[in-house]
Amino acid sequence: MAISFDAELDVFTLHTANTTYAFQVRDDRRLLHLYWGAGRLNAADLPRDEQVFSHHHEESVRVERHREEYAAQGGYFFDEPGIAVAYADGVRDCAVRYDSHSITSEGGRDELAVVLIDAQYGLELTLHYRLYAGLDIVDRWASVTNRGLAAVVATSLKSATFYPAEGRGHRLAHLSGRWGAEHRIERTPLTQSRTVLESRHGISGHDNNPWFAIDRGGAATETSGDVWFGALHWSGNWRITVEQDRWDQVRVTGGYNDFDFALTLEPGATHTTPIFTGGFTTDGFGSASRMLHRYQRSWLAPALKAATPRPVIFNSWEVFWFDINAEQQLALAEQAAAVGAEVFVVDDGWFVGRDDDHGGLGDWVVDPRKFPEGLAPLARHVESLGMAFGLWVEPEMVSPNSRLAAEHPDWIIGFPTREGTLVRNQLVLNLALDEVREWMFSWLDELIGNVGIGYLKWDMNRYLTEAGFLTGDQDDRIWVAYVENLYDVFRRLQAKHPEVLFENCASGGGRVDFGMAAVSDLVSRSDNGDALDILKLHEGYTQAYAPITAGGGIGEVPNGINGRTAPLTFRAHAGMLGAFHISVNLFTMTPEQLAELTGFVELYKSIRSIVHLGELHRLVSAWENPYAAYQYVSEDRSQAVVLAFGQFLQFQFIVPRLRLRGLDEDALYEVDGYKPMSGAALMGLGLPLELHGDYDSRVIRVTRSAPGQSR
Ligand code: DGJ
């Protein structure tokens, strides 16, 4: 990994382990993108401005085809800009030009900062790049400083533009969905058009996820082909625009959504955008995912917990809903401990006014009817059983009939002359206000300390509507400040309570993104705990996000969302694909069923370090086949685990041999239920797999017995 600037050719070259990212400073001091893809190319290898465009003679065409590294709205430019501003005199033509740059290197990360200036108005734009040892990833973001004398309003502000493949026939992959059915993989051919992936919901949203992949010629598979991919680290309104222009150049621009957007920069003020991560691989979608997983685990996730497998979590929400009390939770905790749970979470319903979803939010006081002695005795009991105590909160919300709403009507998001839209009978607190941020941090901090909480489930159950202004100035919108303050509360809680695990839940997977991944430890992948649906949810989720964070597991049957009743074994095996949760009624299970569940928890504990810290290979897609298979391999390739599931197997369907991946070719492996096989045989010939009908599933452990001695 290295960043260099060739002063003779005026070319920046960013080398990752296997790729090159390069751009040039033109004579007119605009930045021109040159290359992003395979190989470690030198500045001299790269087609500079004149060579790329030599067959065009007219200047207008030359300018139009320019691949601006980061385009400012203005001049002869009609594509998605990185930045659009309105200067105080009404001029909306931004002309930033190269000024200077700096290259730094520290702790396995190299950084480049390139400063551009619109001299007439004193607007300074810095483009940031960061590379990581061992990863073919380029992080990009921008910061903008107003060095002028008057305020500047940014009406569009993006983190970066990436230029994947040129030419026609490429394909875009992205994630879509809705509540209970998040993370669906969509693949669509790119045409001369503009495709917008976005959220306007105030959170990253269930509809689209801020991740994309583009594969060359639409020809990549899970294991082969050129794939450019990226993810935006933003948990509010975001927008990724994928364009193929009249010259068949593909541009991907990501950052804040322009929807209802305006950001005022007073003189002297700086604003820094979220990161837009980009990556490239020649080895297909699986390789792209593994790169993002490694990136998330090694560089993004709260460091202290990133390398520790997640505990087994028990949560009674799907069983008792709001109908909870101390006695029942205590008894349940004993049962949960007996089956091997390591965290016991009290979900919604523990605070005053919360017998259903019509009240209580904002007044975070323990309900004395349900917990006469408060939560601390229960928490201590849970700890004495060897588990951490977990608690549900929904800090961003307020019930209109709460004391908080009466005392601080000005803390609620909305326009003064309009009535706010109620969703799930609740309104949203204006976390963009620093006062609200401080209040939120301090009651959460106290709650964690006073009760002795080891696991905090942070929920968020509605989108933002009637999002007003921060200061009354109509150019001062709350969208960005809301998310920045949210991160701030999380970061401070993480710093003050480093041992606490923080779950990110937003009606399941409504706020899944790298912004939240940087401040939380686990995600509620979906509210949908149906085992068959989990096979698909996990496939989509893991396109970008690491399995260690994928919270989900054994849910109650019949499933509350689709009414399906999957057998316990199948539900348990599906639960083992990520971070294992149990949400079943332990009171009504027979001793045999409890023993069975205990066995599954033990099995899970024996494989979870491979699942959470190893590499994921999605062997058989649940979307495309009547069965599915996932494989996880430890980093040193000494251990693997295969999880296979029958979905809708036709009578006498023969499952093709399952060819494993990522093993040591020359090593000999013990395989549960099979004779030992070499890595080469397991990967080439494959494992004969029998799945007898729907809901048949297998967990197969593969353990290296003798490295390099198979032949
Ligand atoms: C929505 C979450 O996704 C559920 O897991 C549960 O915590 C409920 N909210 C509680 O109201």
Which distant-in-sequence residues (6+ apart) come within 8 Å of 186 by Cβ?
Answer: 173, 174, 175, 176
Do residues 496 and 445 touch, judged by C-beta distance below 8 A? yes
Indicate whether residue 510 lines ligand 1 (CB < 6 A): no
How far from each other are the two terminal CA atoms of the chain, in whole angstroms? 36
pLDDT score recorded for residue 239: 98
DSSP assigned state of 679: H
Q: Report the atom number in ligand 1 closest to the C-alpha of 527.
A: 3
How far does the centroid of ligand 1 lie from the alpha carbon of residue 206, in Å?
15
Indicate whether residue 347 lines ligand 1 (CB < 6 A): yes
- List alpha helices for 348-419, DSSP H: 376-384, 403-407
- What tokens does 434 get? 């620093």
- List alpha helices for 15-112, DSSP H: 49-53, 59-65
Q: Which amino acid is at 276?
A: F
CA distance 670 to 678: 9
Which distant-in-sequence residues (6+ apart) come within 8 Å of 14 by Cβ?
Answer: 2, 3, 20, 21, 22, 110, 112, 129, 131, 138
CA distance 558 to 555: 9
How far does the centroid of ligand 1 lie from the alpha carbon of residue 317, in Å?
7
Q: Which residues of 660-676 are buried (b: 16+ CB within 10 A; e: fewer)?
A: bbbbbeebbbebeeeee
Do residues 404 and 363 touch, judged by C-beta distance below 8 A? yes
SS3 assignment, position 616 = strand
Indicate whether residue 505 lines ligand 1 (CB < 6 A): yes
Q: Report the atom number in ligand 1 closest to the C-alpha of 457.
A: 7
pLDDT score recorded for residue 692: 87
Residue with tokens 């923080």: 502
- What tokens does 493 get? 């809680």
pLDDT score recorded for residue 54: 44
- What tokens does 517 get? 């991944």
Catalytic site includes residue 527: yes
Do residues 345 and 382 touch, judged by C-beta distance below 8 A? no
Residue with tokens 């979220």: 274
Catalytic site includes residue 93: no
Catalytic residue among 527, 533, 664, 696: 527
In degrees, rounded to 5, the angle at the alpha carbon of residue 324 between the alpha carbons of residues 318 and 330 is 100
Q: Report the atom number in ligand 1 closest to the C-alpha of 506.
A: 3
Which distant-in-sequence residues (6+ apart) come within 8 Å of 554 by Cβ?
Answer: 529, 568, 571, 572, 575, 580, 581, 582, 583, 584, 597, 600
How far does the centroid of ligand 1 lie from the alpha carbon of residue 322, in Å?
10
Q: Report the atom number in ligand 1 closest to the C-alpha of 317.
A: 6
CA distance 407 to 428: 15
Do residues 70 and 278 touch, judged by C-beta distance below 8 A? no
CA distance 163 to 11: 16
User: CA nearest 183: which of 703, 665, 623?
Assistant: 623
Q: Report the atom number in ligand 1 closest to the C-alpha of 507.
A: 3
How far does the centroid of ligand 1 lie from the alpha carbon of residue 435, in Å?
27
Of all protein residues, whose CA lies closest to atom 1 belonging to ligand 1? 507
pLDDT score recorded for residue 489: 98
Of all protein residues, whose CA lies closest to atom 11 belonging to ligand 1? 348
Residue whose CB lies within 8 A of the most ligand 1 atoms, among 505, 528, 581, for a mutation test? 505
Which residues does the chain have with pLDDT short of 70? 49-65, 708-711
pLDDT score recorded for residue 347: 98
**Sign of CA pseudo-dihedral 306, 308, 309, 314:** negative
CA distance 465 to 413: 8
pLDDT tens digits, one per residue of 14-65: 999 999 999 999 999 999 999 999 999 999 999 876 545 544 555 555 556 6
CA distance 132 to 433: 35
Of all protein residues, whose CA lies closest to atom 2 belonging to ligand 1? 507
DSSP assigned state of 605: H
Tell me the pairing of strands 343-346 and 388-393.
parallel
Could you tell me how many helices (H) and strands (E) the chain has, helices first? 15, 36
Do residues 233 and 277 touch, judged by C-beta distance below 8 A? yes
Helix or strand (DSSP H, E) at 33:
strand 31-38
